[in-house]
Amino acid sequence: MKFTVAVAGCTGYAGGEVLRLLLGHPEITIGNLTAGSSAGTRLGEHQPHLVPLADRQVLPTTAENLAGHDVVFLALPHGTSGPVAEQIAAQQGGDKVLVIDCGADFRLESAEQWTKYYKTEHAGTWPYGLPEMPGQRELLKNTRRIAVPGCYPTTTTLTLLPALTQGLVDGHDVVVAAASGSSGAGKAPKPNLLGAELFGSASAYGVGGVHRHVPELLQNFAKLGAPEPSVSFTPLLVPMARGILAVVTAPVRPGVTAEDIHAAYVKAYADEHFVHVLPQGQWPQSQHIVGSNAVHVNATLDADAGRLVAVGTLDNLCKGTAGGAIQSMNIALGLDETTGLTTIGVAP
């Protein structure tokens, strides 16, 4: 049995990556493709690399155009998925269709935190699409709604997860510096993303705890066992198209050694297909995960500072968005979660 899939927001980076991966998925048939201002054009005008779909017409994003599919991906701007999801439910009669939101609308459990950081009304909370977190696979099985995590929270959470679940750190005083490629900012033209502005430069943004992913990070740390989590998160924009590399530090408990830390990471991810712990002394590089659903991590001890230092990298468009969404979709549909996904990157 093949499942039919519609993609709303098909002309953006996230929607394009969802389609790229779905074209290689053996259990999927791609149905309607929709967008906002791009409606009425050919997909090939926006996603020329998707050759099999180049002549498809982009339809308006309406509940009628998304109806009749087994799965609907929403690759829409933050704050717009909620109303579309309501229309889909009304059109198709409740929760018959699997709706996967690649935006932020349904990630947070706290309406107060949503309003504080996103300045709009909270749309609700859906099961969180990060299968590697303890207990998430059970929540994703047979669900009809999935909230795809943010790319920074996916990277940071998986980079720190073993240290929290194995009790090496308590989740207090976590410091994160994470560098992202420009695709993380979306496809809309912005002056700071022009080639002349981006090439040969690195810059910080969202400085001082104001980035929208802060509450999502704290929510995840709490679910991983941190009793009173705190985080200082500084995102960086660097001149590459894809990828995130996060450096995460936190105070370690007394007596923890570098060997303890590495062993904890190996143990925590021993059965995870997409998370690869590197040998001691080898550190993740963003170039090695491009185009894949893989996560590369490693961690050690800064003995003088008394802090764990963990480094993780992933492709923000793949495992950080579309790949993570398809991995979660596979679980919800009862498929092997690796179907249609690869751990093999593109090099050079």
Model pLDDT, residue 142:
83
Q: Same structural domain for residues 204 and 301?
A: yes
Q: Same structural domain for residues 120 and 180?
A: no
pTM here is 0.96
Contact 214, 159 (CB under 8 A): no
Q: Same structural domain for residues 187 and 88?
A: no
Integer-rounded Cα Rg, in Å, for the chain is 20
CA–CA dist 213, 288 (Å, integer): 25
* Domain assignment present for 342: no
Identify the CA nearest to 303 among candidates 242, 239, 256, 344.
256
CA–CA dist 191, 209 (Å, integer): 23
Q: Same structural domain for residues 308 and 327?
A: no
pLDDT at 92 over 70: no
The residue with greater pLDDT, 185 or 308, is 308
* Domain assignment present for 341: no
**266: pLDDT confidence band, cut at 50, 70 and 90?**
very high
pLDDT digits (tens, 9 = 90+) for 194-228: 777 778 899 999 999 999 999 999 999 999 999 99
pLDDT (average), residues 174-182: 96
| CATH number of the structural domain spanning residue 34 | 3.40.50.720
Domain with 34, as residue range(s), is 3-148+321-333
pLDDT (average), residues 80-98: 86
* Domain assignment present for 59: yes
| CATH number of the structural domain spanning residue 233 | 3.30.360.10
* Domain assignment present for 343: no
**93: pLDDT confidence band, cut at 50, 70 and 90?**
low
* Catalytic residue status for 318: no
Q: Same structural domain for residues 167 and 119?
A: no
pLDDT digits (tens, 9 = 90+) for 36-68: 999 999 999 999 999 999 999 999 999 999 999
Q: Same structural domain for residues 226 and 297?
A: yes
Q: Same structural domain for residues 103 and 243?
A: no
3-state secondary structure of 303: coil
Which of 5-36 are b and which e, b meaning 16 or more Cβ less than 10 Å from the residue's Cβ? bbbbbbbbbbbbbbbbbbeebebbebbbbbbe
Contact 321, 102 (CB under 8 A): yes
Alpha helices in 199-298 (DSSP H): 214-223, 258-268
**What's the number of domains the chain is made of?**
2
pLDDT digits (tens, 9 = 90+) for 293-318: 999 999 999 999 999 999 999 999 99
Contact 182, 237 (CB under 8 A): yes
H and E: helices and strands count for the chain: 10, 13
Q: Which of 10, 102, 151, 318 is catalytic?
A: 151
